[in-house]
Structure 1
Amino acid sequence: MSKNKRRVAGTLTLMTMLALWAALLPGGAAQAGVAGTAVAHARAEAEVGCTSFSNMFQRSPAYYLHIPTVGWDSGDVDCVLARGMNNVGVLALQESLNRCYGQGLATDGQFGANTERAVRNAQNIINSQYNAGIAVDGRYGPQTAFWFHHQIYDHNNGGYHTGACSRWGW
């Protein structure tokens, strides 16, 4: 388990225990609501933003995907892209949204309303194709990333797009 996942699990476990404890206090419903808000806040604080992308090899050393990650070529995919972010991780996401989900976005590295809408569209497509049950929230996080198809690049052809898409690890 990654350091971030352990930190999230520990924080959420503590917050869940606080929520249960608060529910047992007089006025438990109101107290549980406060603790529930604390759980949501702990989740948001525990999330790490994707700041770049990594070249993740697929099927052979010649083919790879650009997967949003924490840091350049770190391989740490346990991160989130959401509205307001601006970096090359968003750019990699936009390229895959265009190629694999037909979204027609400007590839500018800015996660704005159009990119958020495109991620929602991709989440709906993923849910309908795979019955994935992921939240349709317009955020690219670990749940969406698991099912998400990325554009395939060809190392032997100068790193150009192949026109194909794949899930990482498949």
Structure 2
Amino acid sequence: MRKSLSAGILSVVFMAAASLFGAAPTASAAEVPCNGFTNVLAWGSWYLHVPSTSGGSGNYNCVVVRGNHNIAVLVVQESLNACYAQSIGEDSDFGPATEQAMKNAQTRINQYWGTNVLSVDGRFGPKTSSYFEFQAYDYSGGQDGGHTGICYQR
């Protein structure tokens, strides 16, 4: 009992210290990181790239958070720039600029819906994904997913 209590106290102290010193939020053990994307039909030959678990699974019950570095981050960054007028680097690295851009998008989504449908936490999770607008990619006429700059919800 004493060991588990000590471990619990240390865990709380560590989280409090991390919070004080600006440590970034990360996916918890129960969360599954998005590490790929699924093509979701927008209309015609236009598709949305929506972060999901690997292999185009269509499982959107995953997160993209600070510290992630993968294709799912790039997909989010491209849509943040195209759909939410953010000017962040598209480098597949979810750092402080991407986190702030996500907070900006979440704030804008809340304003659009006229209520606080999302927590403004800078994390891209299942709920944010359901309200988020994604850039459409054009696969017509031999194009291999050209950016359209036009955005849709999934």
- Secondary structure of residue in 2 paired with 1:137: coil
Q: CA deviation at 1:132?
A: 4.7
Question: Is 1:71 matched with 2:57?
Answer: no
Question: Is 1:46 matched with 2:30?
Answer: yes
Q: 2:39 aligns with which of 51, 55, 60?
A: 55
Question: Is 1:135 matched with 2:119?
Answer: yes
Superposed CA deviations along residues 31-68 of structure 1, whole A, max 9, x for unmatched, are: xxx9xx8xxxxx932210001111111233x1100000
Alpha-carbon distance in structure 2 between the residues aligned to 1:165 and 1:73? 20
Superposed CA deviations along residues 101-142 of structure 1, whole A, max 9, x for unmatched, are: 011110000000000000000000000001352100000001
Gaps of 5+ in 1: 1-33, 38-42
Compute the TM-score of the two structures, normalised by the length of structure 2: 0.78
Q: Aligned Cα RMSD in Å?
A: 1.7
In the alignment, what sits opposite 2:139?
155
- Could you say which structure has the larger radius of gyration? 1
The code of the aligned residue for 1:151 comes to Q
Gaps of 5+ in 2: 1-8, 13-26
Alignment of structure 1 residues 81-120 onto 2, 5 Å = 81-120=64-103
The code of the aligned residue for 1:116 comes to E
- Dislocated runs of 4+, deviation >4 Å: none
Q: Which has the higher helix share?
A: 1
The code of the aligned residue for 1:138 comes to G
Percent of aligned pairs sharing the same letter: 43
Superposed CA deviations along residues 116-169 of structure 1, whole A, max 9, x for unmatched, are: 00000000000000135210000000111010000001110412112200000x
The code of the aligned residue for 1:152 comes to A
